Structure 1
Amino acid sequence: MKKQNLLFPLLFVLLVMMGCSSDDDITPNDPDDGDGQIDPPTAEYEPLNLENYYNGTGVMMQAFYWDVEPRHQWWEKLTEKVDDWADAGINRIWLPPASKGQSGGYSMGYDPSDYFDLGEYEQHGTVETRFGSRTELDALISAAHSNGIEVIADIVLNHNSGGGLEFNPYRGYETYTLFNEEFGNASGRFNRNYENFYPNSTSNWYDNSLFYPETNLDHNQEYVQNWLWAADYSVANYYKNEVGFDGWRFDYVLGFEPWVVKAWLDEVGGFSVAEYWDGNANNLINYIEETGSGVFDFATFYKLDEAFDRNDDLHSLTGDMVWQTYPDKAVTFTANHDTEKDENEDNFISYENKLKAYAFILTHPGYPTIFYSDYENADFKEELQQLIHINNTIATGDVEVLYVDEDEYIMKRARTASSPGLILYINTNGNTKIKEGIDTDWNQAMIMDYSGNIDYNPITDENGMVSLRAPANGYAIYSIMKQK
């Protein structure tokens, strides 16, 4: 991942004010002229060079939205963007399922038919997938790796689709469960029939509430395990060793047992995040502990939704979230391909609140994800780039919520030996907010808003206390300045 060097208007404002004299970016000195009082000498200040605090965390880009266009050109389009994303501080990109689905050139990949057809075989009316050809996928992965970006494969381990019709004796009627070179599996690798789906001769279990229950794979079968992850010729090993994927996003894990993900990771390793769609933090934590995989932090997503939209009350931001227990396994997000489609109102953070939600996840612990359509939105892009920059540099240290009410939320990331720390101030009120008596880690230090949203540069007192401001219906992210 490349490091950034972003500038915004405040960075060109050199302020001459009374402050503490120091060349130390983290802890300005508090000089004493001998009268027993800490006197702020005259000094010229400028913003910190955040590059000096690069922390190696990074951010993941969800590199698609539902029904991406133009069809058959998506891999090429992404290849053109990876340089910019790397410069912005993105260190992973999550691709949609790359294999051929039943819907052929219209498929978003969540109707998997041939796991080994990545745009190479004529079937379901097309050679290329919706996203392009295998050659174009290879070029994208190569470009990403050249920029220090890992590529994450979306893996769908159930609800197969697009097979041929056959009589299924375990259901007593015909099902689309025949996958071979003639029906939906032109690669000839991982051929399957009704015996490989629930129920079958070795298992009477089935759950008709699942997506496509008739083609829900039986992962307990050795044959299925070998083809998906256990054997050298498996999907997992092929995607990792031959295609070049670096990690996994597991789709709809509520449709199969946690041990499947654990077994996959034990075999091939790599970064992993599971789509366990549940807003209960404890359930998500239990899944982490059962599988060793990261999870999308739906608990945080729903707290953000409650705070900014459903309840319009920022007290929700102090609720239970996965990052509080497993910051290294919590993949935080504000939007994805599912929440942003079909005018979703139940699982959706509104346009006017998006950037405040991003400010939250990009200053708090966890591994943040940026949604493609948000980043490529001209109204959001510059602000998101600065938030990513802050995440990748000074967003470290212990979290302490300093103040919260219905329309104000103030959080501190503590100063450490290698970072100055920060204070996030979110305001959902229609007017500028001022909060007095905020206890910082900075004594007699000039501070500024590194988001660039408010032009305000107070000096903390000898005890680190200060009055902060937040713009109307917005946020500020404060940290210290340094002597010029």
Structure 2
Amino acid sequence: MENPVILQTFYWEMNTDKYAEEYPEESNLWQLLAERAAEIAEAGFDLLWFPPANKGAAGAADVGYGTYDLWDLGEFEQKGSKRTKYGTKEELQQAVEELHKYDLKLLYDAVLDHRMGADEKEKVKLKDCSEAEVWTKFTFPGRGNKYSSLKLDWNCFDGTDWNDLTEEAGKMLFDTKEWDDSFADDYLMGANLDYQNQSVREDTISWGKWIINEIGFDGFRFDASKHVDNSMIYDFIEETDQSSEKELFYIGEAWINDVDTLVDYLESINHPKLHVFDFPLRERFIELMRGDLDMRWLGEKGLVNRKDYKHRAITFIENHDTERDEASEYPTEAVAQRKLQAYCYILMRRDGVPKVFWKDYHHFGLKEVIDNLIEARKKFAYGDAYESESNDENTYSYIRSGDQDHPGSGLVMMITKHENGDIIEKTVNSGKAETEYYDYTGNIEDRVKTDAEANGQFKVMGTAEKGYSVWVPVES
């Protein structure tokens, strides 16, 4: 894949309330993705991040993160429905087949931390020697033994958060158990899976191989990966990867806002194929939104600019957790302003793999602009990369030199936090002497001609709405 781009195909409120009324086609996501396969590929996307496609505790209403049965992809009558929120297994497989016709790679959102919606409760002894009644028996009555004969009971978990005997909530560890060796706290929610239990470990890895080799996915996004046993993440990647001749792709969702700590996480898993979302870079986009970011140092921010790790960064602006209509339980806020400056930054950058959010693309009126930026990425974003000496507190410029394999490539990207309405002009060395440039975004109508030393007076509009430009060479 050359200059790959990821599309996240869902959001938290999909097919609920006003979204169900305004976007009724999203009620059957698998069908919708199949129908739009050609359009998605033509726009320049390479990978699609699917939501968890398995049955959740809330059945057809579950976004997917309340994992009940990994092996039920909308095939069995369980939790009040056959289908999941997004469709049936048959529709999922049809979508996979159709999307693959356009060489699109598909990532499955794997929720490996916990289970919810147990079928029965049982009495257990806790670490503090007290007794509890807990919901930890998963018998999967609708599926039976198809695909997997493993039934879950308290032995398959380290602990949970609800004692039905005392009607008390709180993290509780079962007797004879220890929390797994995860990067952050092992316990997150629900019934916490015990990956020191070999049956649980083997069944989960077998499921991963099934998703790749039978269902047809091309990789995984690991939900809340910093709360999952480190060696389990490593083994899951290694064994699923070895089971397939495909070039698989893996992303960990380790919500860590500090670059050094995010590097520590990658080192704790120690698998070269694991990418992670660049949450530290997104924090800088929040500063940009507020007008607080010093643009001089933007080229040093995030994992995407960290030596030896930049190629493992998945850059993004929003996801289903950071952008919600109602107040999120997460300590963040949506990037409500200067979002296109952020997209321009991640899509023109040499390093990292940029991800586009479904709501931004389809609901917030940004599709046309994002399509334009992706097209610029695919046509012009090649060659060496460097920051301009003209960068100041308010305006940032970034240059791609172009290369011989892509005739006519190379660009000057400019973004600004100015809101004075003026045209901001900077002397930027593009690396191409005596070359005429035009703004591919159309925000600036003028053309720029570089001199014998490759310097030109490049421009960007000083507004929050259009404070981004991508200058590319005029075709000879």
TM-score, length-normalised on structure 2? 0.84
Stretch deviating more after TM superposition (377-386 or 467-476): 377-386
1:479 is the counterpart of 2:475: no
Q: Mark the CA change 1:319 to 1:123 in structure 2 (over 3 Å): closer, same or farther.
A: same
What are the superposed Cα offsets for residues 228-256 of structure 1, whole Å, 9 maximum, x if unpaired?
11xxxx11111111111110000001212
Q: For 1:302 and 1:185, locate their aligned partners in 2 and report how far apart those are by CA, in whole Å.
A: 46
Q: For 2:3 and 2:436, locate their aligned partners in 1 and report how far apart those are by CA, in whole Å.
A: 27
Please point out which of 89, 97, 101 is paired with 1:134: 89
1:440-479 to 2 correspondences below 5 Å: 440-473=430-463, 474-479=467-472
SS of the residue corresponding to residue 467 of structure 1 reads: strand
What are the superposed Cα offsets for residues 150-169 of structure 1, whole Å, 9 maximum, x if unpaired?
11100011121011211122
What is the identity, as a one-letter code, of the residue corresponding to 2:275?
G
Q: For 2:298 and 2:175, locate their aligned partners in 1 and report how far apart those are by CA, in whole Å.
A: 50
Q: For 1:208 and 1:416, locate their aligned partners in 2 and report how far apart those are by CA, in whole Å.
A: 46
What are the superposed Cα offsets for residues 297-330 of structure 1, whole Å, 9 maximum, x if unpaired?
1111111211222625434523432122333311
Q: For 1:78 and 1:335, locate their aligned partners in 2 and report how far apart those are by CA, in whole Å.
A: 20
What are the superposed Cα offsets for residues 22-51 of structure 1, whole Å, 9 maximum, x if unpaired?
xxxxxxxxxxxxxxxxxxxxxxxxxxxxxx
1:202 Cα deviation after fit: 5.2
1:452 Cα deviation after fit: 1.8
1:339 is the counterpart of 2:317: no
Aligned to 2:14: 68
Contact 2:280 2:302 in 1 (8 A): yes
SS of the residue corresponding to residue 376 of structure 1 reads: helix
Aligned to 1:221: 197
Aligned to 2:412: 423
1:184 Cα deviation after fit: 9.2
1:378 Cα deviation after fit: 6.4
1:391 Cα deviation after fit: 1.8
What are the superposed Cα offsets for residues 36-67 of structure 1, whole Å, 9 maximum, x if unpaired?
xxxxxxxxxxxxxxxxxxx7222111000003
Q: For 1:461 and 1:72, locate their aligned partners in 2 and report how far apart those are by CA, in whole Å.
A: 55
What is the identity, as a one-letter code, of the residue corresponding to 2:304?
W
What are the superposed Cα offsets for residues 246-299 of structure 1, whole Å, 9 maximum, x if unpaired?
100000012123222111111012200000001111222233342330001111
Moved over 4 A (4+): 183-188, 199-202, 206-209, 343-346
Number of matched residues? 424
SS of the residue corresponding to residue 233 of structure 2 reads: helix
1:92 is the counterpart of 2:47: yes
Q: Mark the CA change 1:327 to 1:389 in structure 2 (over 3 Å): closer, same or farther.
A: farther
Contact 1:179 1:185 in 2 (8 A): no
Aligned to 1:251: 223
Stretch deviating more after TM superposition (336-345 or 244-253): 336-345
Contact 2:396 2:415 in 1 (8 A): yes
Q: For 1:432 and 1:418, locate their aligned partners in 2 and report how far apart those are by CA, in whole Å.
A: 37
Q: Mark the CA change 1:328 to 1:464 in structure 2 (over 3 Å): closer, same or farther.
A: same
Q: Mark the CA change 1:106 to 1:274 in structure 2 (over 3 Å): closer, same or farther.
A: same
Stretch deviating more after TM superposition (282-291 or 367-376): 282-291
1:201 Cα deviation after fit: 6.2
What is the identity, as a one-letter code, of the residue corresponding to 2:400?
R
1:105 Cα deviation after fit: 1.0
SS of the residue corresponding to residue 295 of structure 1 reads: strand
Q: Mark the CA change 1:346 to 1:452 in structure 2 (over 3 Å): closer, same or farther.
A: farther
Q: For 2:378 and 2:475, locate their aligned partners in 1 and report how far apart those are by CA, in whole Å.
A: 19
What are the superposed Cα offsets for residues 413-432 of structure 1, whole Å, 9 maximum, x if unpaired?
22333343211111221223
Q: For 1:159 and 1:283, locate their aligned partners in 2 and report how far apart those are by CA, in whole Å.
A: 24
Aligned to 1:355: 340
- The gaps in structure 1 that reach 5 residues or longer are 1-54
Stretch deviating more after TM superposition (405-414 or 103-112): 405-414
1:300-339 to 2 correspondences below 5 Å: 300-309=281-290, 311-315=292-296, 317-324=298-305, 325=307, 326-339=309-322
Please point out which of 108, 111, 114 is paired with 2:66: 111
1:290-301 to 2 correspondences below 5 Å: 290-292=270-272, 293-301=274-282
Q: Mark the CA change 1:357 to 1:185 in structure 2 (over 3 Å): closer, same or farther.
A: farther
Q: For 1:205 and 1:346, locate their aligned partners in 2 and report how far apart those are by CA, in whole Å.
A: 25
Stretch deviating more after TM superposition (169-178 or 332-341): 169-178
Q: For 1:459 and 1:465, locate their aligned partners in 2 and report how far apart those are by CA, in whole Å.
A: 8
Please point out which of 372, 387, 412 is paired with 2:358: 372
Aligned to 2:178: 204
Contact 1:303 1:316 in 2 (8 A): no
Aligned to 2:139: 180
1:352 Cα deviation after fit: 3.2
Please point out which of 380, 385, 394 is paired with 2:380: 394
- The gaps in structure 2 that reach 5 residues or longer are 21-25, 159-172, 242-247
SS of the residue corresponding to residue 449 of structure 2 reads: coil
What are the superposed Cα offsets for residues 446-465 of structure 1, whole Å, 9 maximum, x if unpaired?
11111222111121111111
1:141 Cα deviation after fit: 0.6
Q: Mark the CA change 1:189 to 1:394 in structure 2 (over 3 Å): closer, same or farther.
A: farther
Q: Mark the CA change 1:327 to 1:417 in structure 2 (over 3 Å): closer, same or farther.
A: farther
What are the superposed Cα offsets for residues 64-119 of structure 1, whole Å, 9 maximum, x if unpaired?
00031157512112222221110001111111101101011100110111111100
Identity of aligned residues (%): 28
Aligned to 2:396: 409
Contact 1:195 1:201 in 2 (8 A): no
Stretch deviating more after TM superposition (200-209 or 380-389): 200-209
Q: For 1:260 and 1:327, locate their aligned partners in 2 and report how far apart those are by CA, in whole Å.
A: 24
Larger radius of gyration: 1
Q: Mark the CA change 1:120 to 1:204 in structure 2 (over 3 Å): closer, same or farther.
A: same
Contact 2:179 2:187 in 1 (8 A): no
1:189 Cα deviation after fit: 3.8
Q: Mark the CA change 1:185 to 1:154 in structure 2 (over 3 Å): closer, same or farther.
A: farther
